[in-house]
């Protein structure tokens, strides 16, 4: 059994930050669960372009307000507490936070915890060097 406390993890290297967002990685590849689980907070007024080419992601909004734009179709969807979206086709997207967003995120394959977003908004493939840049 794995039991972890979000506030405790925020004081460790499991808590990472990038351009106007933070992510606390509660489960990682090394935990052997087959997925990773993160709590991510996006700052009010921020905009983020992501394209997880090598990972599938499911996200549940717990707090805040924003939108997600599917760059493949142009569709815009409201993000608010209770809304889930799944990037089941490696969908390139833009996530906007009108209010601070608190999101629960699941990645498959799981991330290792050392990934950084590459220039195109993706992470390197799970079997590639985790800190590879674009």
- Domains of the chain by residue range: 6-108
Determine what percent of the chain is predicted with pLDDT higher than 70: 84
* pLDDT the model gives residue 112: 85
pLDDT score of 18: 85
CATH number of the domain at 6-108, please? Answer: 2.60.120.10
Answer whether residue 50 shows pLDDT above 80. yes
Q: What is the mean pLDDT of the chain?
A: 89
d(C-alpha 55, C-alpha 117), whole Å: 12
Q: What is the mean pLDDT of residues 104-118?
A: 81
* pLDDT average, residue stretch 85-99: 96
Start-to-end Cα distance in the chain: 37
Read out DSSP for 54-71?
S-EEEEEEEE--EEEEET
- pLDDT of 121 above 60: no
């Amino acid at each position: 059994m794995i039991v972890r406390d979000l506030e405790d993890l925020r004081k460790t290297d499991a808590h990472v930050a990038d351009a106007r967002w933070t992510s606390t990685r509660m489960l990682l590849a090394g935990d052997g669960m087959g997925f990773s689980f993160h709590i991510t907070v996006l700052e009010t007024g921020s905009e983020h372009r992501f394209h997880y080419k090598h990972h599938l992601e499911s996200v549940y909004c717990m707090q805040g307000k924003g939108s997600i734009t599917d760059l493949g179709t142009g569709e815009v969807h409201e993000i608010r507490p209770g809304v889930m979206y799944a990037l089941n086709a490696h969908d390139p997207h833009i996530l906007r936070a009108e209010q601070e967003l608190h999101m629960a995120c699941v990645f498959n394959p799981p991330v290792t915890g050392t990934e950084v977003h590459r220039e195109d908004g993706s992470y390197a493939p799970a079997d590639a060097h985790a800190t590879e840049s674009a």
